[in-house]
A and B are shown apart, each in its own frame.
Chain A
Amino acid sequence: KAGVTQTPRYLIKTRGQQVTLSCSPISGHRSVSWYQQTPGQGLQFLFEYFSETQRNKGNFPGRFSGRQFSNSRSEMNVSTLELGDSALYLCASSIETGYNEQFFGPGTRLTVL
C-alpha cells in the first residue's frame, strides 16, 4: 500500500507570494492533518480535514487555509508569505478522525526569501 505523498518536496518563494501544497493520504484514509515543523517551535498543528470538512484548527493566522476533496486528497494554501513561514510542512493521514495512529508524509520544505 502506498504511503502518504506530498508535492512538491521543495519550494522556494519570496515574501508576499502565495503557495499551495498538496497531500495524498494512504488509500482508505479519510482524515488528513497538516503540521508545520520548525527548529524553534517543533511540530505544530495547523488543521485537520475529514470528509471534506475542517474538523480542527490550530493557532495559526487566517493566511493559512486548506481544503479536502472528495477523494480525501488535501491542499493547504499560505497567502502573503512571510519569512517566518519557512518550515517543513507535514501532512499526516489516519483512517478516521480521532484515530490513534497517524502516518506522516515526507513533507514539503518551504523556503521564503
Chain B
Amino acid sequence: GQNIDQPTEMTATEGAIVQINCTYQTSGFNGLFWYQQHAGEAPTFLSYNVLDGLEEKGRFSSFLSRSKGYSYLLLKELQMKDSASYLCAVRPRGGSYIPTFGRGTSLIVHP
C-alpha cells in the first residue's frame, strides 16, 4: 500500500515563494502527481514526475527524489489566486495505475 504525508496548512505572502512538501512510503512507485483544487471546484492537474529532478512549468515547479520518497511543489511569485488546496498523489508501479492521494495542503496567500 501507500502512505502519503503532506502538511495540512501553509500560509505565505503575495509575491513570495512557497515550497509544499510531500513524503511517501510505497511498495511500488511509478510516479507522483500534483493537483491544485480551489474551494468548491474540481482538482486540476499540475504535474506528473516519474524521474528524479526538478520540472519547471512557469511559476510552478515540481521536484522528485525517488530514493528519498520525497517530492515538493514550488510556487514562485505567489498570487492571491494561488490560495487553494494542493494534492499530492502517488501512482503505483504496474497493476491498477490508480493514484493514492494525500489529504492535501491548504495554502493561504495573504497580501
A residues within 8 Å of B by Cβ?
Answer: 4, 33, 35, 41-45, 48, 55-56, 58, 90, 97-98, 100-107
Contacts and interface: CB of A to CB of B under 8 A. Distances in A.
B108 to A, nearest CB: 16
Nearest to B96: A56
B101 A90 contact: no
A108 B96 CA distance: 25
B76 interface: no
Interface string B15-51: 0000000000000000101000000011111001000
A97 B91 CA distance: 13
B43 A104 contact: yes
B98 A43 contact: no
A56 B98 contact: yes
Contacts of B89: 43
A99 B97 CA distance: 8
Given A42-B103, A42-B104, A43-B87, A104 B96 contact: no
Given A43-B101, A90-B43, 20 more contacts: A35-B101, A42-B102, A42-B103, A43-B87, A43-B89, A43-B104, A45-B98, A45-B99, A55-B96, A56-B96, A56-B97, A56-B98, A58-B98, A100-B48, A101-B48, A102-B45, A104-B43, A104-B44, A106-B41, A107-B42
Interface in B67-111: 87, 89, 91, 96-104
Q: Closest 3 interchain pairs by CB? A: A104-B42, A42-B103, A43-B101
Contacts of B103: 41-42
Nearest to A98: B97
Contacts of A33: 98
A103 B100 contact: no
A20 to B, nearest CB: 20
A107 to B, nearest CB: 6
A105 B37 CA distance: 12
